[in-house]
Amino acid sequence: MINRTPQRKVVVTGAGGFIGHHLVTQLKQQGFWVRGVDLKYPEYSPTDADEFLIADLRRWDACLAATRDAEDVYALAADMGGMGFISAHHAEILHNNILISTHTMEAARQNGVRRYLYTSSACIYPEYRQTDTNVEPLKEEHAYPAQPQDAYGWEKLVTERLCTHYAQDYGIDVRIVRFHNIFGPLGTWDGGREKAPAALCRKVAVAKLTGKREIEIWGDGEQTRSFCYIDDCVKGLRLLMESGYQQPINLGQDRLISINELADLVANAAGVDIGRKHIPGPQGVRGRNSNNDRLREVLGWEPEISLEEGMARTYAWIEAQVVERFDAEVTDAVA
């Protein structure tokens, strides 16, 4: 008789989204049994999950079904998008994400989930620490006194507290990760929810395809950020889940770059010269960077894929999407 170790049962909420989809693939490669949950299936490639539940996690009954029999939960589901979306949908985002977060957490508790990882964001950091392009990298303790810029950040901060109290009061083994601008292939690249790296890749790809060598940039483009490639993000998530560390922790790169510089980097990946036209638009905070001291200390690791490498891979994927759509539109017009 063969003795098999039972596969660990893991749930990923938001598995139809960018990071969740990549995480499911990684978990399957590492031998877990995975249930993905989302409002939708992944858009650009099929899921590797053993089971995929289409469900609205704002609903309590859906959260109970989603977390049933699970040992670990990775809670990634959220109503979110880039600055254009986040700065224009405060009520909707706060309402939806509070319901998703509180119901998923409580359902996990009632279902006896052992470990629970919550994906928070650099958007929890106070606006008053991010007024300069040459910003001091944000340490975890900089979260308070709290003053996130948007409702999206306030919900993330409150849910961080919820996780901490569930750990204290109910003994759930929580993880709280603060992502700093994750990017890569298979992420949203158009439609209004895309973030700056994907939007820039799309604009440059369209400029290259049409020969109109100019792209629009919101604001003066001098606002700064750091960007972390998806493979590093997923690796960090797995390391953190296995770490035993229960306090909030940054997960991102600590290389600061302006949006103008990022646009040049994308143009370089595309192999074209691109002009920049600055137009009014939401820019978020003036500068934001990750301090990775705690990450290095806790995980003995930090993201290692360079921005040039990550952006080259991302650009190649988005250019292929743009070309495919362009070809389909030409075929439709001819037919």
Q: How far is the CB of 118 from ligand NAD (least distance, A)?
A: 8
Q: With contact defined as beta carbons under 8 Å apart, do 189 and 199 qualify? A: yes
CB closer to ligand NAD, 51 vs 273: 51
Residues 6+ apart with CB under 8 A from 49: 12, 15, 24, 28, 34, 35, 36
CB closer to ligand NAD, 56 vs 222: 56
Residues 178 to 217 in contact with ligand NAD, rule: CB under 6 A? 179, 181-182, 188
Which of 19, 105, 199, 270 is the binder for ligand NAD (CB under 6 A)?
19
| Closest-approach residue to ligand NAD (CB) | 17
Q: Is 56 in the site for ligand NAD (CB under 6 A)?
A: yes
What's the CA gap between 202 and 81, in Å, rounded?
A: 16
Q: Is 38 in the site for ligand NAD (CB under 6 A)?
A: yes
Q: Judged by CB under 6 A, which stretch of 34-42, 106-114, 258-266, 270-278 contacts ligand NAD?
A: 34-42
Tokens 């790809």 map to which residue? Answer: 205
* 248 preceded by a cis bond (ω within 30 of 0): no
Q: Judged by CB under 6 A, which stretch of 54-62, 237-245, 312-320, 324-332 contacts ligand NAD?
A: 54-62
Length of the chain: 335
Q: Is 76 in the site for ligand NAD (CB under 6 A)?
A: yes
Spell out a b/e string for 94-108, using b for 16 or more CB atoms within 10 Å of the CB, else e.
Answer: bebbbbbbbbbbbbb
Q: With contact defined as beta carbons under 8 Å apart, do 226 and 261 qualify? A: no
Spell out a b/e string for 202-233, using b for 16 or more CB atoms within 10 Å of the CB, else e.
Answer: bbbbbbbeeeeeebebbbebebbbbbbbbbbb
What's the CA gap between 231 and 237, in Å, rounded?
A: 10
Which of 26, 47, 121, 321 is the binder for ligand NAD (CB under 6 A)?
121
Which of 25, 47, 67, 119 is the binder for ligand NAD (CB under 6 A)?
119
Q: How far is the CB of 6 from ligand NAD (least distance, A)?
A: 27
152 catalytic residue (yes or no) = yes
The one catalytic residue in 152, 166, 245, 315 is: 152
Which of 73, 78, 124, 270 is the binder for ligand NAD (CB under 6 A)?
78
Read off the tokens for 66.
Answer: 């989603």
User: What are the CA-CA distances from residue 268 to residues 63, 92, 263, 301, 315 (Å)?
Assistant: 45, 38, 9, 29, 10
CB closer to ligand NAD, 179 vs 315: 179
Q: Judged by CB under 6 A, which stretch of 28-36, 78-86, 215-223, 323-331 contacts ligand NAD?
A: 78-86
Read off the tokens for 73.
Answer: 């939960």
Q: Is 229 in the site for ligand NAD (CB under 6 A)?
A: no
Which of 16, 36, 284, 303 is the binder for ligand NAD (CB under 6 A)?
16
Catalytic residues: 152
The residues of the shown chain that bind ligand NAD, judged by CB under 6 A, are 14, 16-20, 38-40, 56-58, 76-80, 96, 100, 119, 121, 179, 181-182, 188
